[in-house]
A and B are shown apart, each in its own frame.
Chain A
Amino acid sequence: MWEKNPVLLLVLATAAILVGTIITMVLPFTWVNTEADRIESVTPYTALQQEGRDVYIREGCNNCHTQTVRPLVAEVIRYGDYSKSGEFVYDRPFLWGSKRTGPDLARLGGKYPDEWHYKHMESPRAMVPKTNMPDYGWLSANKLDPQMIKRKMDVLGFPYSGEEIKALEEKNEMDAIIAYMQKLGSDIPWREAAATTLVGELKNPYSGVSHSDMEPWEDLYLENCAACHGEHFEGDIGPELDGAGLEENDLFEIIYNGVPDGGMPPYSSLGADKVWKLVNFIKYYNQGEDHQ
């Protein structure tokens, strides 16, 4: 009788456990990461990027940041194009995460210039007020171990060159993790595909707004722009904002769509109304009699 025979019970329990296991865990190997998933433009990590990925793993960044954008409206607007299976074929382990204490990073690559990342890692609150991200400036003090990284690349089977390994001697862990972050999600040309096309004629809805009416918009500027362009438009990572030099509509387009090659992220997710407020604030707040 099976209910009195422990060995038989073990065999039957194993069988019960294996059915779902085989169907939902073993069989998918037949379809996942095959040719059907392949995306030509997705490349393995370079030695520096891979080492950065290992620093990301070591510091447990995945405890607060996810790396997968779901095909949901608000999510695609916030982070970018939804994630495709073929983008992860070189990821060992996967780093999709399970909790967004901080934002998703799957489409982080190319969003900000390197300089932004160095400053942000050094002192997150200097760039993003009120964030709870810990400081990681200490990574800059840690040199890389080129021989170890070479071994890692061999185990992973990723291509590398002698010069590439040699160049690592000059780099530190901060360089590595930023190189990794700049690679994230940038292997497919999603930004080009997602670039917003503005329909119709642009018209400033706040034309002729008074200085005092603009005062409440300062928070909007401080939250979104000040980290790179300075609290008083003086410029830092980004250029000084001499608003008078640009037409309203040009300024709108730059803020709305960003300047991908110039390191300026798009702010279309704020919506046209907030972008117009920023346009007016940047262009007119410092002008006229009310000049600060």
Chain B
Amino acid sequence: MEKTEYNYDIVRSFVNWSILWGVVAVLVGVIVSFQMVEPGLNFPPYLTFGRLRPIHTNAGIYGWGVGVIFATFLYIVQRLCKTRLWSDGLAKFQLWFFNATIVASALTLLLGFTTSKEYHEMEWPIDVMVVILWVAFAINIIMTIIKRREEHMYISLWYMMASLIGVAILYLTNSAAMPVSLFKSYSAYAGTNDANVHWWFGHNAVAMALTAPPLAMFYYFLPKSTGVPIFSHRLSIIAFWSLIFMYLWTGAHHLLWTPVPDWIQTLAMAFSVMLIAPSWGSVFNGYLSMNGQWHQMRENYLVKFLILGITFYGLQTLQGPMQAVRSFSAFIHYTDWVPAHIHMGTMGWVSMISFASIYYLIPRVYGRKLYSIPLANMQFWLILVGQLIWSFSLWIAGVLQAGMWNAMNPDGSLTYTFMETMVEMYPYWWIRAVGGLIYFAGIIVFIYNLVMTVREGEPVFIKAAAEGRA
């Protein structure tokens, strides 16, 4: 077989930029967590909680999350297809247009140009940029797959393709708006319809941007890191089809007890519970792939990140369906429990897998051995402890808050005023902020390790035999 020259330059660039946006996301997250306990830290008009929180979420999802998707997919697709990227020029355009889009998003959100729709706050001109960006990315991935020199399409490619299609359908539909000016538009849908369309988008953005892509990474990087194949290809296929079929029914579990028609809520609830099966299909596929390899949890830091990541995916996909049940939602929805849930997914599952993927990529795209494995282990513990403090403090806070909101006296009156419940939250919000700081420290260690790798890491020549393996 002739030797393939892969395009690693573009992978390097996306790794670097995604990390930068990841730092922004976490830093802004830490800032807003302190604003919640100390309102004097709001500096209007630009630096208030209401304007910064969307920057935190969007930098996290689109800057860090999607940035890592770009970096890893552009790498994985070349390796799995044993061919160079279809178009280097298009990838280069995608890189700079991606950064332009993220910068434009951050600036416009600071200026207060927002649609208010969660995880889709950017106004319509940026929607146009996102669509161009995604089409450029999709064309490059799909064309590379079409011209591949490997007959089989490994499961990671499936998840990638589903994600390409899914994000496109979701984002376009939820973008529909009537522009008033360059910076202001009104949703094409009104009231209850808008809510239903939006949470169909909102929940499936989680599916198509923060579930399918990390699964593509997991299915690729776990076998690559352990050196043994995935436990069952068949199981991965069953999980794939059931996941992408069932996810789209579940958006309305964000709208339980609202004026959205009951039958939509009931379907959402039922499908959410059913989703445990395909989610755990992947979790078990991961665990069973470790048969005979568990010693690598001690010896191989990549495996540690990946297995903890998939474990948090498993926990996330049990807790999620639980919250999607009407009776539990009645109790817990709108409390601090919900951000705790989300952050287990983002800080635990998605970011753990992303860190592992980047650690795997760095030696290969920079040609240098990682500067320090002890530092990588230190990062592991910092982000793990930071995230657990973050989530546990708010789980407890959420249950307390829900209990107080619902507490009633024998005469049918409420036991607590709203302010009495809020005052109880402050200690937990402080603990959460500290958890965020610890997580941030982990990211600083991560970056230091990578910078030192590039500067001082020993040159490494990855064996030709390994190169040829998909």
Q: Which residues of A contact B (CB under 8 A)?
A: 3-4, 6-7, 9-10, 13-14, 16-21, 23-25, 28-29, 31-33, 37, 54, 57-64, 66, 68, 70-75, 77-78, 83-85, 87-104, 124-125, 128-136, 138, 148, 151-152, 155-156, 223-224, 268-274
Contacts and interface: CB of A to CB of B under 8 A. Distances in A.
Nearest to A22: B248
A152 B420 CA distance: 40
Given A131-B419, A155-B180, A94 B48 contact: no
Contacts of A97: 334
B189 interface: yes
Nearest to A133: B39
Contact of B418 (A13, A20, A98, A103): A103
Interface string B174-206: 000011110010110111111111101000000
A12 to B, nearest CB: 8
A196 B282 CA distance: 54
Contacts of B112: 58-59
B248 to A, nearest CB: 3
A32 B260 CA distance: 8
A20 B44 contact: no
B244 to A, nearest CB: 5
A59 B51 contact: yes
Contacts of B250: 20
Closest 4 CB pairs of A and B: A271-B413, A60-B50, A88-B191, A20-B248
Given A17-B248, A94-B198, A134 B186 contact: no
A224 B275 CA distance: 46
Contact of B417 (A83, A138, A148, A224): A224
A17 B417 contact: no
Given A24-B200, A74-B405, 5 more contacts: A6-B145, A14-B169, A60-B116, A90-B190, A134-B35
Contacts of A9: 153, 158, 161
Contacts of A63: 49-50, 53-54
Contact of A148 (B164, B181, B252, B419): B181
B197 to A, nearest CB: 6
Given A3-B153, A4-B151, A23 B193 contact: no
Contact of A20 (B38, B197, B245): B245
A134 B42 contact: yes
Contact of A130 (B116, B249, B409, B422): B422
Given A21-B248, A85-B259, A92-B189, A77 B414 contact: yes
A23 B191 CA distance: 19
B193 A98 contact: no
A61 B184 contact: no
B interface majority secondary structure: helix
B196 to A, nearest CB: 6
A96 B258 contact: yes
B190 A91 contact: yes
B411 A271 contact: yes
Contacts of B318: none
B261 interface: yes
B145 A96 contact: no
A83 B192 CA distance: 11
Interface in B312-338: 330, 334-336, 338
A61 B50 contact: yes
Contacts of B153: 3-4, 6, 9
Interface string B412-428: 11100111101100100
11 contacts: A13-B165, A20-B248, A24-B251, A60-B49, A70-B257, A93-B117, A98-B338, A134-B50, A223-B417, A223-B420, A272-B413
B39 A78 contact: no
Interface string B159-171: 0011011100100
Contacts of A54: 184
Contacts of B173: 25
